Structure 1
Amino acid sequence: MGVVRQLRQISADDTGIDIGFRADVRAGLSQRQKAIPARWFYDATGSALFEDITALPEYYPTRSETDLLTRHAADMAAAIGAGRAVVELGSGSSTKTPLLLQAIAPAAYVPVDISGDFLRASADALAARFPGLPIYPVEADFTQAVDLPREIGALPKLGFFPGSTIGNMVARTAVDLLRGWRATLGDGSLLLIGVDRIKDVAVLTRAYDDPAGVTAAFNLNLLERINRELGGTIPVENFTHRAVWDDTHARIEMHLVAACDMDFTVDGRGYAMAKGETIHSENSHKYGPRDANLLLRAGGWTPVRTWDDVDPAFALILAQATEFRSAP
């Protein structure tokens, strides 16, 4: 059946610029600690660079998750059951998706991604590989409310949230996201989510600051995107990439560091940065087993199975939608 139709749920202004992107950049550059949400990494260039990152020897999450999906496919299929609509959050190029689709025989597949170009390419590739599978791509920011295609309304659903992307969010935002998708996927739904574990700091740092500089290019592309889409004059050559472990919050932080004092404009507004000042561009939180289970429960999901990779530590957790109960 292939790609049935594509839904677009991105709000753009008259110039075609995502309204949320403009608002987040304006707000983020105006803060004392400048910060821009990590979801804006993923324009076409950023998405391609991230695919390059996943192939790096230092970047273990993709290998670990792929290994788990391969080794435990039969076990996952038995736990999930056939006939569900798979809704993938932040699908990107969907490199791991075929392993899941082959294992569980879904009734439909709904990739949700903010990058329309990558979404279309990956949906077309999966349609060629699974010609009998209805595919309904949705171009949307999965951190916001998403309307699922009406064609899957009556189907039981499996949310697929791979890559430890949940780690990009602080706990409060992660719980809100999980609760929102609990409501969207509905009663009887399941969630298969990737979670990165706490591990040796040197391993973590190499994964986010590789010797080849691919992650640095990915980080710096955020500034290039701001210049391209918002008419910015940011001197990108005057920024460097930094990845550091924050033990207090159990996370890797990525920053864009000003190498000198500078002034620039974005979207007609002026900004100044001093040497050493940073733009906080990403968090990547790591979770121990109890922490991850607590996060899921707070978000309306009850963990039922966990598949762990030991070295380096990474997990796929299957959770079921917690039944909503009325207050007594």
Structure 2
Amino acid sequence: MNHGFLQDVLAGLRLPQKTLPPKYFYDAKGSEYFDQICQLDEYYPYRTELGMLPDVAGELKQYFSGKSLDNIQLVEFGAGSLHKVKPLLKKLPVITEFVAIDISGEHLKNASADLAESFPKLQIKVAQGDFTQPIELALSQATSMGFFPGSTIGNFEPEEACEFLRSARTTLGKESYMLMGVDTKKDEQMLERAYNDSKDITARFNKNILTRMNRELDANFHPDQFEHLAIYNQELGRIEMHLRSCTRQEVEVAGESFQFKEGETIHTENSYKYYPEEFDRLASSAGWKREKIWLAPDGIFAIMLLHNADKVRD
């Protein structure tokens, strides 16, 4: 039994507003569901960012040439299926090493094997683990650049996002860079559609954490007795995902009982949205300075290049 998973679940379910950490969405099945979400018409972040990356990579090539950088170690946090790194690798031959970090080892192993076939000269290293914690990279002469695409930074509370960015500075070292995807604040209907798709794949993704707890933590959730809920909290600037109990029920996890009232929810995920200047302040508080920004049409998504110009502080 995964005791870290168990302790996080028990701690969250004991709270007045029951919660579950979203990092546990991503077992093999959850990662598969998320790949399907990325192909949905309603889910704009994936296709928008993927469409931007070739142009971003082209501009980065010029930028790094101007900095006389010819050897870069790319480190992807929460690497998943490795789809988004490919446009960078195709246009940036200065990337000679690639480190993929993800919590789902099986999913990452398969994806990295496919990547190795496409880029046989690339040195690829895989690290299974919690990317929110500092990770000691193998010694390298290359300049490190983190890669954190999508809107994953929004899944952290702002204070946690700042802590992650500090941790990433420690992992990447001085004079490093970070290429970030940031989902921006926009029309509320567009945001809510992205998390309430017509095919109910996001609902299956959300409920999969219940199935995972049944399998790994000796729980007895009935997923069909919970419904997916995703709403935009205007005041806090975030999408909130919940699992709402359809009935009064009792559930056990590793022998501990939890009572649910009808309509009571488990808060499973937040996805914070940021105006670019808001994210600049957040990054700056963690020791990063924005070097460049790319905005999608209508400003619905941003990609930012951050630079750690200072000596890493504890």
Which bracket does the TM-score occupy, shorter chain normalised?
A: over 0.9
Amino acid at match of 2:193: R
Secondary structure in 2 matching 1:107:
strand
Partner in structure 1 of residue 188 of structure 2: 201
Residues 82, 204 of structure 1: alpha-carbon distance in 2 compared, 3 angstrom cutoff:
farther
Whether the 8 Å contact between 1:85 and 1:156 is mirrored in structure 2 is yes
Whole-angstrom distance in 2 between the partners of 1:170 and 1:113: 20
Unmatched runs of 5 consecutive residues or more in structure 1 = 1-16
Whether the 8 Å contact between 2:173 and 2:312 is mirrored in structure 1 is no
Partner in structure 1 of residue 113 of structure 2: 124
Amino acid at match of 1:84: I
Q: How far apart are residue 263 of structure 1 and its match?
A: 0.3
2:56 aligned with 1:72, yes or no? Answer: yes
Q: How far apart are residue 268 of structure 1 and its match?
A: 1.4
Which range moves more in the overlay, 238-247 or 17-26?
17-26
For 1:293-308, list aligned pairs within 5 A: 293-308=280-295
Amino acid at match of 1:292: F
Tell me the TM-score normalised to structure 2 length.
0.95
Partner in structure 2 of residue 4 of structure 1: none
Partner in structure 2 of residue 111 of structure 1: 100
Whole-angstrom distance in 2 between the partners of 1:96 and 1:82: 21
For 1:55-70, list aligned pairs within 5 A: 55-70=39-54
Superimposed CA distance per residue, residues 19-78 of structure 1 (whole angstroms, 9 cap, x where no aligned partner): 321111010111110011111100000000000000000000011111110233210222
Partner in structure 2 of residue 45 of structure 1: 29
Superimposed CA distance per residue, residues 224-266 of structure 1 (whole angstroms, 9 cap, x where no aligned partner): 1011100101121100000000011100000000011000101
Q: How far apart are residue 170 of structure 1 and its match?
A: 0.7
2:161 aligned with 1:177, yes or no? Answer: no
Whether the 8 Å contact between 1:82 and 1:104 is mirrored in structure 2 is no
Whole-angstrom distance in 1 between the partners of 2:63 and 2:229: 41
Whole-angstrom distance in 2 between the partners of 1:130 and 1:247: 43
2:13 aligned with 1:29, yes or no? Answer: yes
Residues 79, 240 of structure 1: alpha-carbon distance in 2 compared, 3 angstrom cutoff:
same
Whole-angstrom distance in 2 between the partners of 1:109 and 1:56: 28
Which range moves more in the overlay, 78-87 or 113-122?
78-87
For 1:1-328, list aligned pairs within 5 A: 17-80=1-64, 81-105=69-93, 106-148=95-137, 150=138, 152-311=139-298, 313-324=300-311
Amino acid at match of 2:102: D
Whole-angstrom distance in 2 between the partners of 1:198 and 1:296: 17
Which range moves more in the overlay, 31-40 or 67-76?
67-76
Whether the 8 Å contact between 1:60 and 1:312 is mirrored in structure 2 is no
Whole-angstrom distance in 2 between the partners of 1:78 and 1:293: 23
Whole-angstrom distance in 2 between the partners of 1:89 and 1:123: 14
Unmatched runs of 5 consecutive residues or more in structure 2 = none
Which range moves more in the overlay, 74-83 or 125-134?
74-83
Q: How far apart are residue 155 of structure 1 and its match?
A: 2.0
RMSD of aligned Cα (Å): 1.3
Whole-angstrom distance in 1 between the partners of 2:29 and 2:92: 32
Which range moves more in the overlay, 189-198 or 17-26?
17-26
Amino acid at match of 1:26: L
Whether the 8 Å contact between 1:66 and 1:96 is mirrored in structure 2 is yes
Secondary structure in 1 matching 2:71:
coil
Amino acid at match of 1:69: L
Tell me the TM-score normalised to structure 1 length.
0.91
Whole-angstrom distance in 2 between the partners of 1:325 and 1:235: 47
Secondary structure in 1 matching 2:269:
strand
Whether the 8 Å contact between 1:64 and 1:312 is mirrored in structure 2 is no
Amino acid at match of 2:92: I
Secondary structure in 2 matching 1:35:
coil
Q: How far apart are residue 325 of structure 1 and its match?
A: 8.4
Whole-angstrom distance in 1 between the partners of 2:70 and 2:140: 16
